[in-house]
Every structure is written in C-alpha cells, then in structure tokens.
Amino acid sequence: MTRKGSDKTMNYRDLFSGIAFLIIGVTTVWMGNDFFADAAYVPIGVGTLMGAFSLPLIWRGMKSVLTTRAMTDSTTGHNMTTHPAPALVDHPARFTTTLGCCLVYYTALPIVGFYTTSALFITLLAVLLGERRPAVIAGITVGFITLLYALFAVVLKRPLPVEFFLAS
Amino acid sequence: MFESLLNALPVALQFGSLISLFVGTLIGILIGALPGLNPVMAIALMLPLTYGFDPIIALGLVAGIYNGSMYGGAIPAILLNIPGTPAAIATTFDGYPMTRKGEGGLALKTACWSSAIGGIVSALALMTLAPMLAKVTLAFGPAEYFWVAVFGLVSIAVLVGKDVSKGMLSALLGVIIGLVGVDAISGEERFTFDSLYLSGGFELLIVLIGLYAVPPVLEMAERRNESYFNSDSFRAKPSGGSLGLLRRHWRTWSRSSLIGVAVGILPGAGGNLAALLSYNEAKRKAPDPETFGSGNPVGVAAAESGNSADNAAAMIPSLTLGIPGNLVAALVLGALMIHGLQPGPQLFTRAPDVVFGFMWQMLLTAMLLLLLGGMVATRLFAQVLRMPSALLVPTTLVLMAVGVYTVNGNVTDLYVMLAFGLTGYLLNRLGFPLAPVVLGVLLGPMAEQNFRLTMLIAQNDWTVLFTRPISLGIVALLAVVLLSQLWKTLRHRRQSQDQAA
C-alpha cells in the first residue's frame, strides 16, 4: 500500500464515519424532541453538536476523495483500483473466528455451565489460533480453570452458571 | 486534613490492604510486561472481582496494578525493544541498546529504581496538593461543576489524538451512551427503545471492559501465534550497587519526577508525554547528549521516573473534582462509585479513611516496586513473555466474561460488552480516540445533572452560568485550551503548506 493509496482509503473512511456520526446526531436530536421538557436539553444539544462536528470530517473526506480522484483520472486514465484499500481488519479469518467462538461461548455458558464451557472455549480457540502443543494447551487450561474455581467458587463464592451435569 | 492523612495510615497498613497491594503490584508488573495488555484493561477486569471487598482493598489492587504496570512496561521495552505500555516508548530508546551491550540487568535495575522514585514523588504530590485543592472546591456550586465537567470533557477530547473533530465526536458519543436509561430527574426513559435491559442504562464497568479490554485482545488474536521472549534477549550482567544508582541519577530523578507530576495534573496528558518530556530534558541537560539513544542509563532513568511520576498526580483532579486526568483515574472513579462513594471534595470529609488510605497505598506500592521488581523477580516476570498469544487470547476473554457476568449475573451483559468491544475496535481503526468516549460516559451525566440543577435554581436564567467568578475562571481556562489548540492546528497547517510549496 502506497502512502497515497492509504490516504485515499482514510479519506473514504473519514467520509463514511462522518456520515455515520451525522446520522447518529440527527437521530439523537429527532428522538430528543419527544422527551419531556428539560430531559430533552442535553440530547438535543449533544445531537446538534455531533452533527456540527461531523461536517468538517465529511467536508475534508469529500474534498480529499475528489482531489485524489481528479489526480488519479489525469495520471492513470480513470484507473481507480491502482491501490487496493487496506482492510479494516488485519486478519479477517482470525478476527471472525475469535468473534464466532465468543458468541458460541456466551450462548453455551448458561446451558452447559461456566467451567465446562470455559475449558472448551480456551482449548478450541487456542487450537484455531494456531497453538499445536496439546500438553501446553491442556496444562494452561486446567491450571487457569482451577485458579478461577478457587477464586470464584471457594474465595469469593460468586454464583456462576451451574454445570449441566450438576444441575438437578 | 493532615490529621486525616495520618489517621488513614493504619487503614492502609491493614493486612487485607497490604495483601491487595502486593497482589496488585505483581499483577501490574505481569500485565505491563505483556505487550498488548495494559493497566486500564487489567484494572477494568479486576474491578468486578472486588465488589464484595472493602473499598480500601479494591483501591489497593488498583494502586498496585497502576504503579506495577508502569515498571512492568519497561521489561519488554528493555529486553525486546517492544514497549509493554505506551508510556514505555521512551524507555526503549536507551534500554534496548543497553541490553544489546549486555547491560540488560543494569537497565532493568535502573528502570525499577526510577519507577519507584517517580511513584514516591507523585504520591507525595497527591498527598499534599489534593487536600488543598479539595478545600478550594468546597466553594463550587452546580454551575461550577457543570463547567468543570465540560472543561474535563472538552480538554481531553481536544488534546488527545490529532484530530479535534474526531476527539469531540468520540466525547459526544460517550455522552449519548451515558444518556441511555431512565432520566434520574424526570423519570423519563431515554433511548431505551422499550427495552427493559436498556432502561437501567449501561453499566459503566461493562462499557469500560468492552471499549478498553476487548480491542487489544482482538488485535492480539489477529497476530500469528507467537511468544515474545527468547532466552537470548535476557543477558543480564551483574549491576552496580543501589547507592551508586542513587548518586548517579538523583538529579535526573528529581527533574523527571517534577515533570511527571506537572504532566499528570493536566487532563489528557498521559505517561508517554511525561516520559518523552523527561527524556528530552535529561538529554538537553546531559554533558554527553550524543550518547543518548545508544545505551545511556540516564535516558532509562529519565523516561521511567517521568512516566511513573505521572501516576498518582493524575489522581489529583479526579479525587478533588471528580474529573479524571487519565483513564486509570477514570477507573478509580468507577471503583469509588461501585463502592457507593461519590468523588469530589465531600469525599475527603465523608470517607477520609478511603481517600487518604488510597494516597498511602499509592506511596506504598511505589516502594513495593523495589521489593518486587528486583532482579530475580524481574527474571520471573520476563518469563511471562513466553506465553503464546493463542493461549493468552482465550484466557483473557474468559477472564473478561467472568468479570462482566458477576456484575449482574446476566448473560446479556456479555453480548453488550462484545458490542462495545467491536465499537472500540472500529473507532480505533478509524482514528477516533477512545479516552473521550469513556470520559463522555462518566462526565456527561455529571454535566447534565449540574446544568439542570443550575437552571432549576436560577429559574431558567442561563446567564448564571457566566456570572459567578469561579465559573468565569473555568470558562476562561476552557477558552485558553481551545484557542491554544486552534493556534497549534493553524501553525501545523501553515508548516504543511510551506513544506508542500
């Protein structure tokens, strides 16, 4: 990614994030209008300010995008794909794997139980993220879960989702 | 006030408090030593675990993690040229060249002593300045508190990051997040979309863990599975005696500690700025400035004492005004609120044991660094860097889940945490600073309540916001911050144009 390409992408991002903030600001003002008297002051004020501060971002983004487009058009003849945009996420596969595992973990937690789900989650995610030493995975998982059990069940006595095999 | 300070010493020296200081400092050094993990994340994770504890024990953990992590950040900075925390960037300049020269042991010892000295000076500043400022703030009414909250929010939004609009948008987003739920004054539901979950508003701790702890873990997950440490990195030569260090560095420590304290009091200025300013000043005053950057221990001493001196000083505006100077200070406010204590000048009279006890704890943890950061322990902490990231990611995520779940015993909180985590990750990538979001959540409601109280008292006469002398003073300060930023932006733009021409 060249410097120019990176800047161009950032400007697109500034433009889109500016529009997103403008929408949030306008929605806040619109919803704030329905609130009772003084409960509306701050939402309306904050929404208006958000809209106002998003404008320079949109303006700058648009100006730079148009400038870059004009420069690219004049030098490379309508070639706008010279510099592919850098991904917002560095490694989408690892990112989505982690997020997916988290969602499964949170869903399974109240059904399967805290310690079992956590042990499975650590093992599975470690393997998916590239750890290939079974002894290291098992050792750290067992050690960590034991530590959590000692802290939460024995010392702090905090109620955590009960294990499915212990539920009556 | 000094009587209260003395009375709080036995509280800070209680067995439970000492244990929490010890454990907190150890955790802090470990967290600081791991690149990608930071003290804010560690404290956010620890807070839910302290619900059932006495406030002084919870604050002891916070104090330990805070001071410990500042030194911990120096370990990978010196051994691997990777700053464990952003504040340790300046430590790499001379720390890593020292390791390459086989002086890693001396560099670590210098860093440990420097962190301890900086922390001690900072804690002493907190003990002396905070009570005085608290007395002044007793004269504050709702109008002054409104302006103080606005000042804290705007100055951090403007000073943190490079883009003022992005900083302000982050802060405003935080204020909107803080507005969600039932309005405390009118009882009106705002932005709840008829959801029972949202009517209670977002739990501060869940927002904090989501915004601050989740993004670094997601970033760590994206990297290839690797451990940072190999045995070649740690070649420690026996180092000189501690007295020799004291003789050699006392001037640097004194100067850097003062810089750190001054930077710490300013909202929005972090430990990295304190460290860089201290480093530059040490280089400027040194008889051999050309040796800086190639392994001069004075550089390590300046950077480490500077960043640690920022720690306790950042608590001065938090404890006296309820305006956090940095994110850890924001978490300390969160910890106080969780335990039913409202930060501000009244805290000094309502819970003197807690507030003064915390000041002693900051001092004690700075001293503990000398005990725990010794050579053998440092060698042990450096082993943490062996932990592969593929295992660090899931274990940290489980720790987050258990921390968030224990707040309300509600699984929905976990999804909310993840949603805030993704928001934080996205904002980070788009160049929006996260600190103003958190401060918006914290200070937004404070500003709103005081604004509405002022309007109620003054019967909607808004001129009252500008007629009281203290309010006017704060407005003037706000104007100075905004104008100086405007001047900086214009100067930067002119320089860029000159360069382009």
Q: Are B210 and B416 in contact (CB under 8 A)?
A: yes
Please count the residue pairs, one from chain A and one from chain B, whose beta carbons lie less than 8 angstroms apart: 163
Question: How far, in Å, CA of B321 to CA of A68, rounded?
Answer: 47
**Weakest mean pLDDT among A106-120, A153-167, B215-229:** B215-229
Q: What is the per-residue pLDDT for B438?
A: 82
Assessment of whether the complete model's pTM goes beyond 0.90: no
Asked if the structure places residue A56 within a domain, the reply is yes
Asked if the structure places residue A125 within a domain, the reply is yes
Search chain B and give the residue with CA nearest A46. Answer: B172
Give the orientation angle of helix B55-72 with respect to helix B2-12, to 10 degrees: 80
Q: What is the per-residue pLDDT for B35?
A: 62
Q: What is the per-residue pLDDT for A17?
A: 92
SS3 category, B441: helix
Instruction: Note whether B188 contacts A: Cβ–Cβ < 8 A.
Output: yes
Asked if the structure places residue A112 within a domain, the reply is yes
Asked if the structure places residue A83 within a domain, the reply is no
Q: Min CA distance, B410 vs chain A (Å)?
A: 9
Beta carbons within 10 angstroms of residue A69's beta carbon: 13
Distance of CA A136 to the CA centre of its chain: 29
Q: Which residues are CB-neighbours of B128 under 8 A, at least 6 positions away?
A: none
- Domain finish residue from A76, A106, A127: A76
Mean pLDDT for chain A? 84
Q: Kindly state whether residues A96 and A69 are assigned to the same domain.
A: no
Q: For chain B, which residues score pLDDT lower than 70?
A: 1, 35-37, 51, 80-84, 86, 160-161, 225-242, 267-271, 325, 374-386
Q: Kindly state whether residues A65 and A98 are assigned to the same domain.
A: no
Contact B432 A17 (CB under 8 A): yes
- The DSSP code sequence of B44-63 is HHHGGGGTTS-HHHHHHHHH
Number of domains in chain A: 2
Contact B172 A156 (CB under 8 A): no
Contact A98 B173 (CB under 8 A): no
Instruction: Note whether B496 contacts A: Cβ–Cβ < 8 A.
Output: no
Instruction: Note whether B183 contacts A: Cβ–Cβ < 8 A.
Output: yes
Reported as a single tens digit per residue, the pLDDT across B383-423 is 666 678 888 889 989 988 887 888 788 999 999 999 999 99
Q: Kindly state whether residues A128 and A103 are assigned to the same domain.
A: yes
Contact B175 A121 (CB under 8 A): no
Range of the domain at A38: 3-76
**DSSP classification of residue B384:** G
Of B168, B179, B432, which is closest to A43 when you measure between CB atoms? B179
Instruction: Note whether A98 contacts B: Cβ–Cβ < 8 A.
Output: yes
Q: What is the per-residue pLDDT for B37?
A: 67
* Chain B residues in contact with A158 (beta carbon < 8 A): 52, 406
Mutation target vs A (from B54, B165, B217, B482; most A CBs, 10 A cutoff): B165
Asked if the structure places residue A100 within a domain, the reply is yes
Asked if the structure places residue A59 within a domain, the reply is yes
Q: Kindly state whether residues A96 and A133 are assigned to the same domain.
A: yes
Does residue A78 carry a pLDDT above 60?
no
Instruction: Note whether A17 contacts B: Cβ–Cβ < 8 A.
Output: yes
Q: What is the per-residue pLDDT for B82?
A: 67
- Domain finish residue from A47, A76, A105: A76
Asked if the structure places residue A166 within a domain, the reply is no
Q: Kindly state whether residues A19 and A45 are assigned to the same domain.
A: yes
Reported as a single tens digit per residue, the pLDDT across B282-328 is 888 888 888 888 888 999 999 999 888 888 888 888 888 777 767 77
Question: How far, in Å, CA of B64 to CA of B66, rounded?
Answer: 5
SS3 category, B458: coil
Q: Report which secondary-structure segment, H or E, holds B189.
A: strand B189-190
Q: Kindly state whether residues A62 and A120 are assigned to the same domain.
A: no
Q: How confident is the model at residue A75 (pLDDT cuts 50, 70, 90)?
A: low
- Domain finish residue from A23, A49, A76: A76
The ipTM assigned to this model is 0.88
Residues 58-77 of A with CB under 8 A from B: none
Instruction: Note whether A125 contacts B: Cβ–Cβ < 8 A.
Output: yes
* Chain A residues in contact with B391 (beta carbon < 8 A): 122, 126, 131, 136-137, 140
Residues 138-157 of A with CB under 8 A from B: 140, 144, 148, 151-152, 156
Phi/psi class of residue B410: alpha, beta or left (left: φ > 0; alpha: ψ in -120 to 50)?
A: beta
Asked if the structure places residue A160 within a domain, the reply is no
Q: What is the per-residue pLDDT for A82?
A: 46
- Is A167 or A81 the better-scoring residue by pLDDT? A167
**Weakest mean pLDDT among A77-81, A134-138, B323-327, B359-363:** A77-81
Q: What is the per-residue pLDDT for B262?
A: 83
